[in-house]
Amino acid sequence: MPNIKPIPVITVDGPSGSGKGTIGLQLAKTLGWHFLDSGALYRVLALAALNHHLDLADEHAILGLATTLDVQFNTEIVLENQNVTDQIRTESCGNVASQIAVFPAVRAALLDKQRAFCQPPGLVADGRDMGTTVFPEAIIKFFLEASAIERAKRRYLQLKNVYPDVTLENLLTEIRERDVRDRGRVTSPLIPAKGAVVLDTTGLGIKEVFDLVLKEVNRRLY
């Protein structure tokens, strides 16, 4: 039997606004690997739940939607034949995603969808439980963190030109509430995976964080 090497996976976990998505995507492009934005999957499910007017506290209803979710991820994110790439990035959609992500059955239903992204030559996966639950066999695991106010400021700069009504105060409140939900849920709480490289990105620019990450990747892979 030929010795088939497993497809390598690098995970980048962390709370909202820590920079994990930006760093993960940039790393995937640099390596020429596939990229999984797992948060987008939960945001799409959240938007679908809102569109179908589901009770967000009804785990059974959300589970039924998760198992039949009609979504395609390419250059655009298409939900039920509609381009929702921009819609899922709103703070309201992110908050709903955090609410439904606490349901164990829903998280289990989305596992296979996430793991299907693992294809040659490799995968960089960003999220909140990529290194702990979805890809525990990942060859390198990162956990990015930053202070709540730092993360709120980053989100404010991202959103203020698109959503003029957004305020730093509201974003800070939402981030703190989401942190409590993400860190306190029973299934796959937001914690660093065993052996993860933990980086505090407070006060650091994207290039500074990426250089640290890439240096560690090069040290481990080559």
Higher per-residue pLDDT: 124 or 76: 124
Whole-angstrom Cα distance, residue 175 to residue 179? Answer: 6
Measured CA to CA, the distance from residue 86 to residue 155 in angstroms comes to 15
CA distance 186 to 73: 29
* pTM reported for the whole predicted model: 0.86
**What pLDDT digit, counting tens, does each position of 51-62 carry?**
999 999 999 999
- Report how many domains make up the chain: 1
In-domain check, residue 2: no
pLDDT tens per residue, range 138-176: 999 999 999 999 999 999 998 888 788 889 999 999 999
Domain containing 117 — which CATH number?
3.40.50.300
Asked whether residue 104 is domain-assigned, the answer is yes
Average pLDDT value for the chain: 92
Does residue 219 lie in a domain region?
A: no
The answer to whether residue 171 is domain-embedded is yes
Residue 4 within any structural domain of the chain: no
Domain contains 27: yes
Give the residue numbers spanning the domain of 161.
Answer: 9-203
Q: By three-state DSSP, how is residue 207 classified?
A: helix
- The residue ranges of DSSP E strands in 116-196, in sequence order, are 123-127, 140-145
- Work out the pLDDT band at 5, boundaries 50, 70, 90: confident
List Cβ<8 Å contacts ≥24 apart for 65-74. 66/106, 66/109, 66/110, 67/109, 69/44, 69/45, 69/113, 71/41, 71/44, 73/40
Termini Cα distance of the chain: 27
Q: Give domain status of residue 54, yes or no.
A: yes
Domain assignment present for 77? yes
CB contact at 8 A, 193 and 13? yes
